[in-house]
Structure 1
Amino acid sequence: MLGRIHSLESFGTVDGPGIRFVVFLQGCPLRCLYCHNPDTWDPKQTGKYVLSPEELLTEVLRYKSFIAKGGVTVTGGEPLLQPEFLLEFFSLCKESGIHTALDTSGAIFTEAGQKVFDIVDLVLLDVKSIDADQHKKLTGVRIDNTLQSLNYLEEKNKPTWVRHVIVPGWTDDDLLLKRTADYLAPYRCIEKVELLPYHDMGARKYEQLGMEYRLENTSPLSKERLENARNIFRNVGLQVL
């Protein structure tokens, strides 16, 4: 079994606890307006690497001393497009005593994906928008599977960090932020919420790829609006990363 891997990062510090080896898998069914990795979308592209789970683990083990207090995070694209590869790779990581994390939109909810949820140590769940209509406009897909994934993680009491991007003109709205915080607050599996400010640093990549960047006129989120969002989430008892 081979995994289609877009790229590897050996010293990640923003994708889970500690210093982490980050694996970016190729392929994604979402078309988020603010995506800064549009080159990961096409699942038919092999990516930079085509590796077996064993070969990928060998690469990870080169950095084991550096990630001893962190671990491995697999992101994308959407990693759950390759669930069998994930399951085998995470199993090997656990045998080697390496902490594992999965960064996913939850947009693919299948039996194979549930097995990945079962084995991984931590899930970083990207909730794009809690409003169903806005979610479809923002990502191109329905929100249903993301919410089913969250419910499954709750059922399994799987440690979960929710990630939510605050986008001016979209999710940067006090009523919508409060609605999102209220929805998430009852979930016991959610250890932390990471609120991420929208930025336009990916726009140049679209230009290089000859693609239209549909948020071209959207300004980066201000520090004041980010802190406002953090306070809304803290006020319902959620721990904000």
Structure 2
Amino acid sequence: MPFLPDTPGRIHSVETFGALDGPGIRYVVFFQGCPLRCAYCHNPDTWERNDGNSTTAGKVVENILPYRNFIQSGGVTLSGGEPLLQPAFATAILHLCKEQGFHTAVDTCGAIPLEKCREAAELTDLFLLDIKALDPQECRSLTGTDNRRALELLRWCEEVKKPVWVRHVCVPGITLEPSRLEKLAKFLKGFSCIEKVELLPFHKMGAYKWEALHIPFTLADTPEPTAQEMEMAQGIFRNAGLL
């Protein structure tokens, strides 16, 4: 692939010392563009595919290299937005990162068909897979689409023994209901590829972005979960051996 470094794409921003997007200290590349419209998204400014900054895979990795000593025990994470919405760009960056010996992770909603991003998936050492909701209709209500493709990606990871960290946002009155959490934990327990589950409390720190973009924030009146509610959720997944 001689033109790999010249593969074009669009990014929103980068984080040079990320500690929340995979193991160790990581360089995180936030891609521009996302096919979902999650009701609790804290970065709606990453949605539109033609916004952000135009660059190439080579330039992205060139900017990573000065941080090698800091991320050598961690790695590089592609996030977003949705990185697999730009499969050729993601593949090129992952390929170049692997050439440099970096551990690679992809934070994804799993909404992109696997046949469109298989090469990128094969170059990924760890998936951070966002499972929005187990029920397809609930997922559609929250995000604008169902969870079929996300679960297909999870099953593929199980088949090829690709490590996965599942992420699940806990929204009071919606995804934080005990019965829904128990059903999700029971389902996820059947996958040996899942190394752990990260339960993320719903927050409204990105509400100002919705206002700036003149998009109604439908969860504005939804309370953030209490410490007791999050402990309840963690207890369910801890009992399932997923925390």
Determine if the alignment matches structure 1 residue 2 to structure 2 residue 8. Answer: yes
CA contact (8 A) 1:123 1:161 kept: yes
Residue 35 of structure 1, CA deviation: 0.2
Deviations 1:70-110 (A, max 9, x none): 11100111111111111111111111011110000101123
CA displacement at 1:194 relative to structure 2: 0.4
Match of 1:42 among 44, 48, 52: 48
Matches within 5 A, 1:19-58: 19-45=25-51, 47=52, 49-58=53-62
Residue in 1 that maps onto 2:108: 104
Per the TM alignment, residue 44 of structure 1 is displaced from its structure 2 partner at its CA by 2.3
SS at match of 1:32: coil
Identify unmatched segments of 5+ residues in structure 2.
1-6
Q: Counterpart of 2:68?
A: 64
Aligned match of 2:123: 119
TM superposition score normalised by structure 2: 0.95
1:16-75 alpha-carbon deviations (Å, 9 max, x no partner): 011111101011110000001111111122x1x322111111000011111111111001
Q: Matches of 1:230 and 1:110 in 2, distance apart?
A: 30
Contact 2:76 2:105 in 1 (8 A): yes
Question: 1:212 corresponds to which letter in structure 2?
Answer: P
1:236 equivalent in structure 2: 240
Aligned partner of residue 161 in structure 1, secondary structure: strand
Aligned to 2:140: 136
User: Which 10-residue stretch deviates more, 201-210 or 55-64?
Assistant: 201-210
Number of residues paired by the alignment?
237
- 2:114–2:153 CA contact under 8 A, matched in 1: no
2:185 equivalent to 1:174: no
Alignment-derived partner of residue 17 in structure 1 = 23
What is the CA-CA distance between 1:200 and the residue it aligns to?
Answer: 0.9
Task: Give the match for residue 4 of structure 2.
Answer: none
Contact 2:110–2:149 (CA<8 Å) still a contact in 1?
Answer: yes
Q: Is the 8 A contact 1:19 1:66 kept in 2?
A: yes
1:196 maps onto 2:162 in alignment: no
Aligned-pair RMSD on alpha carbons?
Answer: 0.9
State the distance in 1 between where 2:32 and 2:71 align.
23
| Amino-acid identity (%) | 50
Using the TM superposition, give the Cα deviation of residue 143 of structure 1 relative to its aligned residue in structure 2, in angstroms. Answer: 1.1
Q: Secondary structure at the match of 2:71?
A: coil
Consecutive aligned runs of 4 or more in structure 1 exceeding 4 Å deviation: none
Distance 1:23 1:79 in 2: 9
Q: Does 1:163 align with 2:167?
A: yes
In the alignment, what sits opposite 2:91? 87
The residue type equivalent to 2:109 in the other structure is: S
CA contact (8 A) 1:163 1:194 kept: yes
Q: Is the 8 A contact 1:84 1:112 kept in 2?
A: no
Q: What per-residue deviation string (whole Å, max 9, x for no partner) do you get for residues 196-226 of structure 1?
A: 0011111111112222111010111111111
Tell me, yes or no, if the aligned pair for 2:106 and 2:127 is still in contact at 8 Å. Answer: yes
Q: Secondary structure at the match of 2:39?
A: coil
Partner of residue 153, structure 1: 157
Question: Aligned to 1:188, what secondary structure does the other structure show?
Answer: coil
Which consecutive residues of structure 1, in runs of 5 or more, have no partner in the other structure?
none
* TM-score under structure 1 length normalisation: 0.96
